């Protein structure tokens, strides 16, 4: 294994795409998550609260209408009772109706209830006998509805404009015509005979101020107001709507199901509206209805306020959460970045630097410990591998040298003669084949040929026989040295077999060269001294390669024949045998 790749991060990691940092990814995910949760929760709470507020506003409008209707019904009944009780007062039942006592009582009642504009007692023929402030005294009310009705029973009448009293009472500050609601009751004696009628005109302003009081008290600043409609749906109050309606303008929306309820458009503006009918507690049912209404814009103002607050709170919370996410992301990513830096230092410096001791979380502490241990183990492994590598390289070198030596030894064994160290017969044959091929290729051009000497020790059997075989071997070794020393280094000296040697002479200019080389050998051997044996001679057969030779064999055969002749001719001689010479 290549140890360099062991601690190279790039060798382990895939080529990195340009990814956003862990810190920005964490910030983005945590910030986005908190924003999404906030939006969802805020949206849900906002929607729930919006519904609740809407329902509450509707309830407030409905409660206003009902309260106003309830209050009006009660107040009308009270005023009716007031007049009814007055009609059975003993001084009216028994006494004279035009007495000062009656007048004083009427005026006290008016002082107590300033809603009454006028209180009076009329005779059965309609002549006013006594009245608060003395107004209408002596005048006839015989044609007034209240008088006609009250001759029979207790009466409450619908609102109407003042007739006889209009000129006697101060005009209203807002310029509205003076209007009244009439209360009246018959005065009967003990036998039930009609003695007269007691009547009262209550200011219409008293009625409207009751309604205004309810709307003002119950939901101040809410924009809720109330309308009073009569049985036919005509506006009785407020005056402006009443006038507009009288002028033929469509000031009221069409009631849904005969009732004003829900979201309605009054004069082009949307309102939340609710209707309540006066539950009549008086003798006569006036059939009035109260419609409370609130401009939608004001009804939904709390919703808008809440939404604005929710958005503001949401933004603040999102900012706080994003900040928290950033801090958290930093807290998480910083130790990871530190570990990455440490890992880079391990890789570049090949030593273990200080690891972060408090990485911030249990898992990161474990990761730090694991990296520490891994770095130590990797560095140790790397060193061990380097050591092994060095040892292996040395061993390989040694083994290579041994192998080369073994190969050389094998080569030597295969090509050399074990006794003399000269080329053996096999090696000689190979060299002869090379020389033969070279001559065939270049011989014609260079004009040079190779030659062969076959050298045989004379009477060697005699040496063996006389001195023993080991001495014979020693003689052969020394003879080989003499032969080797007598030729050129380019010449190949080989042991041909037994006591017979051969010399390959490459690139000879002619037969003379070969004969000269053979003579040189012969004389060298003759001159040499062989321990224990003394002198030795050799016979040499010389031959030259011929273009007519088909292979090596003719060359060897000619040299062998020449050697035979040298032996036969008396030994210690050189004989040349060429191709054209007769054998
Ligand atoms: N010591 C020793 N003797 C060898 C070796 N090879 C051959 N001989 C001996 O060489 C002798 C060759 O004898 P011969 O062939 O009869 O010829 P010679 O005695 O040399 O006589 P001529 O060749 O006719 O001069 C034999 O006695 C062989 O045993 C060898 O490797 N070592």
Give the position, in ligand 1's atom list, of the atom nearest the Cα of 498.
6
The strand ranges marked E within 523-569 are 538-544
Q: Cα–Cα distance between 531 and 522 in angstroms, integer?
A: 18
Residue 488's pLDDT is: 95
DSSP state of 354: P
pLDDT in tens, 392-408: 999 999 999 999 999 98
For residue 273, what are the contacts with CB-CB under 8 A and spacing of at least 6?
61, 260, 261, 262, 263, 264, 266, 291, 292, 293, 294
**For ligand 1, which residues put their CB under 6 angstroms from it?**
456-462, 464, 469, 472-473, 476, 498-499, 567, 571
Task: Give the residue, by CA position, lying nearest to ligand 1 atom 12.
Answer: 461
Rounded mean pLDDT of 424-449?
A: 89
Query: Which ligand 1 atom lies nearest to the CA of residue 475?
Result: 1
pLDDT 10s digits, 13-58:
454 566 777 777 777 787 787 778 878 887 888 888 888 888 888 9
Query: Is domain 416-577 annotated with CATH 3.30.70.270?
Result: yes
In a mutational test of the pocket of ligand 1, which residue from 425, 455, 464 has the highest number of ligand atoms less than 8 Å from its CB? 464
pLDDT band at 1; cut points 50, 70, 90? very low
Q: Which atom of ligand 1 is nearest to the CA of 469?
A: 1
**CA nearest ligand 1 atom 18, residue:** 459
Residue nearest to atom 1 of ligand 1 (CA): 472
530: CA distance to ligand 1 center in Å?
Answer: 16
Alpha carbon 471 to chain centroid distance? Answer: 98
Check residue 9 and give its pLDDT: 46
**Residue 257 pLDDT class (50, 70, 90 cuts):** confident
Report the pLDDT value the prediction gives residue 3, as an integer from 0 to 100.
43
Does residue 152 carry a catalytic annotation? no
Distance 14 CA to ligand 1 centre (A): 80
Helix (H) or strand (E) holding 545: none
Cis peptide preceding 237, ω within 30 of 0: no
Q: Which of 168-182, 307-321, 546-560 has the highest mean pLDDT?
A: 546-560
Q: How many helices (H) and strands (E) does the chain have?
A: 16, 16
pLDDT value for 2: 44
Provide the mean pLDDT of the chain: 88
Q: Is the pLDDT of residue 581 over 70?
A: no
Confidence of residue 491 (pLDDT cuts 50, 70, 90): very high
Does the reported pTM lie above 0.90? no
CB atoms within 10 A of CB 47: 11
Quick one: DSSP state of residue 356? P
Residue 11 has pLDDT above 50, yes or no: no
Q: Which of 421, 476, 479, 499 to mutate to test the pocket of ligand 1 (most atoms within 8 A of CB)?
A: 499
Torsional class of 24: left (φ above 0), alpha (ψ -120 to 50), beta (otherwise): alpha
Residue 508 belongs to what H/E stretch? strand 500-508
- ipTM for the assembly: 0.95
Could you tell which of 457, 461, 478, 540 is best to mutate to test the pocket of ligand 1, judged by most ligand atoms within 8 Å of the CB? 461
Q: Which of 175-184, 367-376, 547-556 has the lowest mean pLDDT?
A: 367-376
200-204, 211-215, 329-333, 460-464: segment of lowest average pLDDT: 329-333
The whole-number pLDDT of residue 204 equals 93
As a whole number, mean pLDDT of residues 511-534 equals: 96
The percent of residues above 90 in pLDDT, for the chain, comes to 55
Gap from CA of 103 to ligand 1 centroid (Å): 193
Lowest mean pLDDT of 12-21, 43-52, 319-328, 564-573, name the range. Answer: 12-21
Residue 445 makes CB contacts below 8 A (sequence gap 6+) with none
Asked: is 20-221+299-336 a CATH 3.30.930.10 domain? The reply is no
Give residue 233's pLDDT: 87
Q: What is the mean pLDDT of residues 345-356?
A: 80
Atom 27 in ligand 1: residue holding the nearest Cα: 461
Read off the tokens for 109: 């009642």
Higher pLDDT, 478 or 329: 478
Distance from the alpha carbon of residue 459 to the mean position of ligand 1, in angstroms: 7
> Which tokens go with 417?
């003669």
| Ligand 1 atom closest to residue 472's alpha carbon, by position in its atom list | 1
Which residue's alpha carbon is nearest to atom 30 within ligand 1? 498
Domain boundaries, given as residue ranges, for the chain:
20-221+299-336, 350-407, 416-577
**pLDDT at position 4, please?**
44
State both tokens at 413: 């064994």
Would you say residue 413 has pLDDT above 50?
yes
pLDDT tens track for 196-208: 999 999 999 999 9
Residue 118: its H or E element: strand 116-122
User: Of the spans 244-253, 284-293, 329-338, which averages the highest pLDDT?
Assistant: 284-293
- Which is the closest atom of ligand 1 to the Cα of 471? 1
Percent of the chain whose pLDDT exceeds 70:
96
pLDDT bracket for residue 256 (50, 70, 90): confident
Question: How far, in Å, from the CA of 566 to the mean position of ligand 1?
Answer: 16
Q: Which of 82, 115, 499, 500 is catalytic?
A: 499
């Amino acid at each position: 294994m290549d140890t360099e790749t062991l601690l190279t991060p790039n060798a382990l990691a895939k080529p990195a795409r340009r990814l956003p940092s862990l810190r920005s990814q964490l910030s983005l995910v945590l910030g986005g998550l908190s924003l999404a949760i906030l939006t969802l929760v805020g949206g849900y709470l906002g929607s729930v609260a919006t519904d609740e507020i809407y329902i509450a506003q509707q309830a407030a409008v409905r409660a206003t209408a009902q309260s106003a209707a309830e209050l009006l019904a009660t107040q009308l009944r009270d005023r009716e009772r007031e007049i009814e009780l007055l009609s059975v007062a003993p001084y009216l039942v028994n006494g004279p109706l035009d007495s000062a006592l009656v007048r004083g009582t009427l005026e006290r009642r008016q002082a107590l209830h300033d809603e009454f504009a006028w209180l009076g007692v009329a005779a059965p023929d309609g002549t006013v006998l006594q009245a608060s402030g003395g107004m209408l005294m002596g005048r006839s009310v015989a044609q007034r509805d209240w008088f006609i009705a009250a001759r029979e029973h207790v009466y409450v009448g619908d609102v109407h404009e003042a007739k006889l009293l209009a000129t006697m009472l101060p005009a209203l500050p807002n310029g509205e015509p003076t209007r009244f609601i009439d209360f009246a009751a018959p005065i009967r004696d003990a036998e039930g005979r009609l003695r007269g009628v007691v009547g009262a005109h209550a200011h219409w302003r008293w009625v409207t101020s009751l309604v205004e009081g309810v709307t003002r008290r119950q939901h101040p600043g809410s924009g809720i107001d109330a309308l009073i409609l009569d049985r036919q749906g005509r506006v009785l109050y407020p005056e402006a709507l009443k006038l507009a309606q009288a002028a033929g303008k469509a000031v009221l929306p069409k009631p849904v199901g005969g009732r004003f309820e829900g979201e309605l458009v009054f004069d082009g503006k949307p309102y939340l509206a609710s209707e309540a009918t006066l539950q009549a507690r008086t003798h006569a049912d006036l059939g009035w209805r109260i419609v409370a209404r609130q401009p939608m814009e004001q009804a939904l103002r709390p919703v808008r306020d809440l939404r604005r607050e929710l958005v503001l709170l949401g933004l603040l919370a999102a900012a706080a959460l994003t900040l928290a996410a950033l801090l958290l992301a930093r807290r998480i990513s910083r130790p990871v970045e530190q570990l990455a830096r440490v890992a880079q230092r391990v890789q570049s410096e090949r030593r273990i630097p200080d690891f972060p001791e408090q990485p911030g979380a249990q898992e990161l502490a474990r990761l730090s410990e694991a990296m520490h241990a891994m770095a130590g183990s990797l560095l140790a492994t790397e060193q061990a591998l380097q050591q092994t590598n060095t040892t292996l390289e040395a061993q390989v070198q040694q083994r290579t040298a041994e192998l080369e030596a073994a190969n050389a030894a094998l080569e030597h064994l295969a090509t050399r003669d074990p006794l003399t160290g000269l080329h053996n017969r096999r090696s000689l044959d190979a060299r002869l084949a090379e020389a033969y091929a070279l001559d065939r290729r270049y011989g014609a051009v260079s004009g040079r040929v190779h030659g062969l000497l076959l050298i045989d020790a004379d009477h060697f059997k005699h040496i063996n026989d006389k001195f023993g075989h080991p001495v014979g071997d020693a003689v052969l070794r020394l003879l080989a040295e003499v032969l080797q020393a007598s030729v050129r280094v380019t010449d190949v000296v080989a042991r041909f077999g037994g006591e017979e040697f051969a010399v390959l002479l490459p690139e000879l200019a002619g037969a003379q060269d070969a004969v000269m080389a053979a003579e040189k050998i012969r004389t060298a051997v003759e001159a040499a001294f062989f321990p224990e044996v003394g002198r030795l001679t050799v016979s040499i057969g010389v031959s030259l390669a011929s273009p007519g030779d088909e292979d090596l064999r003719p060359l060897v055969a000619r040299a062998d024949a020449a050697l035979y002749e040298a032996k036969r001719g008396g030994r210690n001689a050189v004989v040349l045998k060429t191709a054209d010479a007769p054998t």
